Amino acid sequence: MPERVGIMGGTFDPVHIGHLRAAEETVEALNLDALFFMPAADPPHKTGKKIQPFKHRWRMLQLSLEGHPRFHISDLERRLPGKSYSVITLRKLREEVLPGAELFFLVGLDAFLELDTWWHYKELFQLAHIVALRRPGYSGTEIAGFLKRKISDLYTLNAETAQFDHPQLYPVHYLHNTHLEISSTRIRHLVKEGRSIRYLVLPEVMSYIMTKKLYHLESLIIS
């Protein structure tokens, strides 16, 4: 039986419990054998924005995932040249890194409803199952209309499995994960204002941010 492998792409600047809990609930709900966090080296929609170097974002992920039996990190996008387009990453995974595996690509509902702005976005649905994660501020009722308008009007909701099926393309799953109103943007702002981020990130990540002075006012001014 081919392995069922989740891929969670992100900037992870920094990784927070919104990411971690959504990933945990996906692994459980969809019975995944493994889930790879895939930090983007050059996130296409963050061009020109200041993001922390890959090594810090990578280390914070490592600290967060340590000891988890099914969570792993991949440095594939750091090794690929150019912008971190998800279609390129998924092609590479299917063709070379994980041939034979069944891939599940996780995206928050905010990102899902903007998938039509991604590079060669229609191909995503030929490469992997898409898992749309609930996120406060975005409604799952928009998924059906989005699929119909932007991808294919042959997607239909299967009431039994609560997923959208298609005769040729991969299914789209809408996960009823816990609503956690947490974003990396909010965490960066809290640090900058000298406020607490305890319980929004793992303790090891909080210590790392403090020790390395990431997101602090001084570090933002100097660099």
Ligand X SMILES: Nc1ncnc2c1ncn2[C@@H]1O[C@H](COP(=O)(O)OP(=O)(O)OP(=O)(O)O)[C@@H](O)[C@H]1O
Candidates 13-21, 89-97, 118-126, 200-208: pick the segment binding ligand X (CB under 6 A): 13-21
Nearer to ligand NCN (CB atom), residue 40 or residue 172: 40
The residues binding ligand NCN (CB under 6 A) are 9-11, 38, 40, 43-46, 84-87, 111, 118-119
Residue 14 binds ligand X, judged by CB under 6 A: no
- Nearest-5° angle of CA 149, CA 155, CA 160? 135
**What is the sign, positive or negative, of the torsion defined by CA atoms of 222, 43, 143, 153?**
positive
Task: Record the tokens describing residue 145, joined without a space.
Answer: 């209309």
Residue 184 binds ligand X, judged by CB under 6 A: yes
Secondary structure element (H or E) that encloses residue 210, with its range: helix 203-212
Q: What is the dihedral of CA 46, 56, 73, 124, to 10 degrees?
A: 0
Q: Binding ligand X by CB under 6 A: which of 65, 93, 133, 191?
A: 133
Residue 18 binds ligand X, judged by CB under 6 A: yes
Residues of span 51-110 touching ligand X by CB under 6 A = 107-108, 110
Measured distance between the N- and C-terminal CA atoms of the chain, rounded to whole angstroms: 50
- What is the rounded distance in angstroms from the CA atom of residue 193 to the CA atom of residue 4? 42
Q: How far is the CB of 19 from ligand X (least distance, A)?
A: 5
* Residues 30/131, Cβ–Cβ less than 8 Å: yes
Candidates 16-24, 73-81, 205-213, 215-223: pick the segment binding ligand X (CB under 6 A): 16-24
Q: How far is the CB of 38 from ligand X (least distance, A)?
A: 10
The footprint of ligand X (CB under 6 A) covers: 10-13, 18-19, 22, 107-108, 110-111, 133, 135, 180, 182-185
